[in-house]
Amino acid sequence: MQNIKITVDKSHIFTLGEKMYRKSIEFIRELVNNAYDADATEVFVNINDNKIVVEDNGSGMN
């Protein structure tokens, strides 16, 4: 397997998020759906003041 490094400016992520997901819950729901699409049997969502972390045991990206 070959690794390819991709660098994205954080402003692009914010712009994509704002245009695609008007509410935070829609964004989180999409991440959870993606986990199940990757055959995850467990999905963990951790939300605190500074970040949202979605982890799963699926076969998708890390």
pLDDT in tens, 5-36: 666 566 766 666 666 656 677 778 888 888 88
The residue ranking higher by pLDDT, 7 or 55, is: 55
25 within domain boundaries:
yes
2 found inside a domain: no
Give the dihedral sign, CA 26/29/34/37.
Answer: negative
Q: What are the b/e assignments for 12-50, b being 16+ CB within 10 Å?
A: eeeeeeeeeeeeeeebeeeebebbeeeebeebeeeeeee
What is the value of pTM for the model shown? 0.56
Number of domains composing the chain: 1
How far apart are the C-alpha atoms of 27 and 7, rounded to whole Å? 21
Q: What is the CA radius of gyration of the chain?
A: 13
Could you tell me which residue, 18 or 59, shows the higher pLDDT?
59
Structural domain contains residue 62: no
Q: Residue 29 in 3-state DSSP?
A: helix
> What was the pLDDT predicted at 21?
59
Q: Once rounded to an integer, what is the mean pLDDT over residues 30-48?
A: 87
Domain containing 17: what range? 10-56
